[in-house]
Amino acid sequence: MQILQCDLTLLENTFFSSREVGNFYQTEPVIGNYALCYALGLAVSPYYNAGAIHYAEHLAALNTAGIYVTPAMLLNDPRFVIEQFNAQPDSYWFAMGNNALIVKPDGWDAEPGSKWYLVNRATGQRRAVGTSNRPQIGRIKMLGIGNQARFYLVCQQETPKLPRYLRLGKWMSKARLEVQPMPFQQIQDQQRAIPQLLNPVDLAPPTLLHTFDLLNIHPVPLVRNALTSGEFYQLADQAKTILPVGMRFGVEAMTHDR
C-alpha cells in the first residue's frame, strides 16, 4: 500500500460552477475528488454523452483497483479573479425570444408569435427556434493563477501512473502536479480533528463523524474541520496529517439515473 501527497499549482484561471446566485457564478476554493479522478485520467468520460451520469460504474472500477482520491484543499488563502461575460450575439439584428436569442441567418426572416420561427425566403421553410438553457450575461468568480491545492491518493495495490500536467474545470484549465510518496503508520484515536476536506459518503462505517463544517456543493457535499473517531493513517509530515482508514468511493449511494 502507498499514500501519495499530490500538490496542484494552477497555471490558468480555473472555473467550477460551485454556486450560482442570480447571474453570479462562483467557484468555491476546493476541487472535488470526482473531478480529480477524471482530470488524473483514473476515470475516463465518454467522448459523447447524451446526459447520462457514469459516476457509479467509473468509481466502482477504482474501488476494484484499490485506488482512492481525496478532495483537494487550497494550501493558502485563495486568490480569485472575477470577470464579466456577455454571450449576446454581435449581429446587426437579434431579438429575445422564449429563453433564446433569435438571430437571422442570411436568406431567412424571423417571425414572432407564441413561438419564434425562422422562415426561408426562397422556399418558405419554417423552423422553430428552441429554448436555450445558457446564461446571456453575468459575472464569473474563478480561482486565479498560482493557487496551490493538495490532495492525497491512496493505492492499495499497484500505483497508477499520474500525469505531470492536467486539465481542470469547465474550461479545462492547465495545472501542474507534483507527487511525493508519504511514509505513514496506522493508529486508532477518539475525537480527532481533521482540518482537510473529506467526502462523507466515502468514509468506512467504523469512522464516526461527531461534528464538522458542511460545504454544500454538487455532486456531493463535502465536510471539513471534522471531529472523528476510528482508525487513521498518520503521515510522516510536519503537520502529522491523518486520513481515515478504509475510504472508498460510495457508489452504493449512487444510481444510474442521478
Reported as a single tens digit per residue, the pLDDT across 189-228 is 999 999 999 999 999 988 999 999 999 988 889 999 999 9
Asked if pLDDT for residue 107 goes beyond 80, the answer is yes
- The pLDDT assigned to 218 comes to 86
- The pLDDT assigned to 8 comes to 97
Indicate the pLDDT class of residue 255, thresholds 50, 70 and 90: low
**Contact 177/42 with Cβ under 8 angstroms?**
no
Asked if pLDDT for residue 16 goes beyond 90, the answer is yes
- Percentage of the chain lying above the pLDDT 70 cut: 93
Q: In the 8-state DSSP scheme, what is residue 130?
A: P
Residue whose cell numbers read 502529522: 240
- The pLDDT assigned to 256 comes to 45
- For residue 152, CA distances in Å to 20, 72, 86, 112, 125 come to 28, 8, 38, 56, 58
- The pLDDT assigned to 133 comes to 65
- The pLDDT assigned to 57 comes to 87
Amino acid at 222: L
Q: Whole-structure pTM over 0.85, yes or no? A: no
- The pLDDT assigned to 134 comes to 67
- The pLDDT assigned to 202 comes to 95
What is the pairing mode between strands 173-182 and 94-96? unpaired
Measured in degrees and rounded to the nearest 5, phi and psi for residue 244 equal: -60, 140
Q: What is the biggest distance separating any 2 CA atoms in the chain, rounded to whole angstroms? A: 79
